[in-house]
């Protein structure tokens, strides 16, 4: 590309918009590479953090502002629990209608406050897209982990336990926002816990969980800014150690092989083989032959390139379905990219920077180096973000630059 050169000093001092709070900030100072290699889906991790770290995402004022959005809350996303059991909805909700004139239960804030004063724990569910800060972190998590992410804010009080020892079906990141909370992580772990029958916490009686959780593996006191990662299926519980506690729970819901099979089964009748009649039960040897033929045919179906592409499309569709970029009043849809920085390296040079991806290394100078750094520091970029930067590069040069980062593998079009 032909670019008017800038003095190196100008490159060094050129300001860029600060990146929003993201996955890398969440686990800092822990290395993302070490986290995925040694902890994710494997074992828990406690990451101490600065006291003001979580304030970049959530605060008590933020909770009050969320609750002030009275029309969005119902018994489905505003829940109370006390002494390990769910508080009955009628104890803090009243019956009304929603925007579609459908009946629903909405929280009565006076009765909700009374329940809280008696020690109930408040859970505000599915808040991940309700503020710019939460939305940015949610987008970052989905880009890095390539799976749907949901967030819940938990408000609890000293000495009152809302939820007893349990395991979760998703992977959980707990960010302590205010107060202190003591977590117990147990040795027991349910194998491949998932939101399907026989793999959920509620599918088993209390006596099973009492045996299955085992001994305490770690007791962790969480302070503001601390992060605790707990893999899916790991038994744990928590209790507020201060007068009150606020923490943000970030859950990652990976797709299951079962989900893919269900998608596949829906498409199988398009193949004439799968529209055959099954042999009668008393047909000698016919059942065995049918099973063998079906297994062979399924193997052929799974080997088709279109099925592999279908799986990729299915995973991307679920992982990024909540990432929506609107730029009204403009009607042109901006290009969106996932930044694949994990496993790649950005290093400074005398006149810019260099990005290394495997055996390939590309150097960028001056304003192109600023753009490379801007992208590398984020998990998600759009063409509108690039266009808004105060740089002298013409639009066609910026487009060529993005294409170069796509070829390098740093950017993945969504």
Model pLDDT for residues 184-209, shown as the tens digit of each residue: 999 999 999 988 888 999 999 999 99
pLDDT of residue 100: 81
pLDDT score of 341 more than 80: yes
Q: Give the model's pLDDT for residue 300.
A: 87
- What would the mean pLDDT of 371-392 be, rounded to a whole number? 91
Q: pLDDT value at position 59?
A: 96
- For the segment 157-176, the average pLDDT, to the nearest whole number, is 91
What percent of the chain clears pLDDT 70, i.e. is strictly above it?
A: 96
Residue 72: inside a domain, yes or no? Answer: yes
- pLDDT range class, residue 14, cuts 50, 70, 90: low
Residue 24 lies in a domain: no
* Domain assignment of residue 167, yes or no: yes
- Residue 125 predicted with pLDDT over 90: yes
Of 273 and 44, the one with more pLDDT: 44
- If you average pLDDT over residues 66-89, what whole number do you get? 94
Q: What is the mean pLDDT of the chain?
A: 89
pLDDT of residue 392: 86
Task: Tell me, yes or no, whether 238 and 147 share the same domain.
Answer: yes
* Position 43 pLDDT exceeds 90: yes
Domain assignment of residue 268, given as a range: 257-276+284-318
Confirm if 320 and 313 have CB atoms less than 8 A apart: no
Angle between helices 305-319 and 257-267 (to 10 degrees): 120
Tell me, yes or no, whether 292 and 340 share the same domain: no
Same domain? For 219 and 88 the reply is yes
- pLDDT score, position 208: 94
Question: Same domain for 110 and 72?
Answer: yes
pLDDT at 2: 34
Place of tokens 């989905």: 142
pLDDT for 337 equals 95
Mean pLDDT for 371-395 is: 91
- Segment 247-258 shows an average pLDDT of 92
Main-chain dihedrals φ then ψ at residue 174, nearest 5 degrees = -110, 115
Q: Does residue 149 have a pLDDT over 70?
A: yes
Q: What is the dihedral of CA 299, 305, 309, 311, to 10 degrees?
A: 10
- 382 and 305 within one domain: no
Q: For residue 408, what is the domain's CATH number?
A: 3.90.930.70
Residues 374 and 306 in one domain: no
| pLDDT reported for residue 4 | 36
Of 54, 70, 141, 146, the closest CA to residue 104 belongs to 70
242 with 348, same domain: the answer is: no
Please tell me the total count of domains within the chain: 3
Contact by Cβ (8 Å): 59, 133: no
Sign for the CA dihedral angle at 137, 81, 207, 183 comes to: positive
More confident call, 173 vs 18? 173
């Amino acid at each position: 590309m032909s670019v008017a050169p800038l003095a190196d000093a100008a490159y060094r001092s050129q300001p860029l918009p600060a990146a929003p709070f993201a996955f890398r900030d969440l686990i800092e100072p822990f290395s993302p590479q070490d986290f995925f290699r040694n902890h994710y889906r494997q074992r828990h991790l406690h990451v101490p953090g600065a006291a003001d770290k979580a304030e970049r995402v959530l605060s008590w004022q933020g909770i009050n502002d969320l609750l002030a959005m009275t029309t969005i809350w119902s018994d489905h996303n505003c829940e109370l629990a006390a002494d390990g059991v769910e508080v009955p909805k009628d104890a803090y909700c009243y019956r009304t209608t929603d925007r579609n004139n459908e009946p629903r239960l909405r929280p009565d804030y006076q009765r909700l406050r009374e329940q809280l004063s008696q020690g109930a724990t408040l859970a505000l569910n599915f808040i991940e897209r309700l503020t710019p800060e939460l939305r940015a972190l949610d987008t970052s998590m989905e880009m890095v982990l390539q799976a749907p992410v949901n967030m819940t804010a938990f408000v609890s009080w000293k000495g009152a336990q809302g939820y007893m020892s349990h395991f979760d079906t998703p992977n959980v990141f707990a960010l302590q926002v205010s107060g202190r909370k003591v977590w117990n992580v147990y040795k027991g772990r349910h194998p491949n816990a998932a939101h399907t029958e026989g793999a959920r916490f509620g599918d088993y009686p209390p006596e099973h969980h009492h045996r299955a959780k085992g001994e305490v593996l770690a007791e962790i006191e969480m302070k503001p800014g601390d992060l605790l990662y707990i893999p899916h299926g790991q038994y744990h519980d928590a209790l507020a150690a201060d007068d009150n506690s606020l923490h943000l729970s970030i859950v990652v819901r990976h797709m299951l092989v079962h989900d893919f099979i269900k998608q596949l089964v829906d498409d199988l009748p398009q193949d004439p083989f799968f529209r055959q009649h099954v042999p009668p039960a008393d047909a000698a040897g016919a059942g065995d032959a049918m099973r063998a033929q079906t297994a062979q045919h399924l193997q052929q179906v799974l080997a088709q390139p279109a099925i592999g592409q279908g799986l990729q499309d299915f995973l991307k569709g679920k992982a990024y379905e909540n990432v929506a970029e609107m730029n009204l009043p403009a009607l042109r849809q901006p290009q969106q990219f996932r930044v694949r920085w994990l496993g790649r390296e950005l290093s400074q040079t005398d006149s810019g920077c260099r990005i290394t991806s495997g055996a390939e290394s590309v150097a960028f100078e001056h304003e192109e180096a600023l753009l490379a750094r801007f992208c590398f520091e984020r998990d998600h970029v759009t063409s509108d973000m690039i266009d808004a930067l105060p740089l002298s590069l013409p639009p066609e040069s910026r487009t060529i630059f993005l294409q170069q980062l796509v070829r390098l593998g740093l950017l993945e079009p969504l």
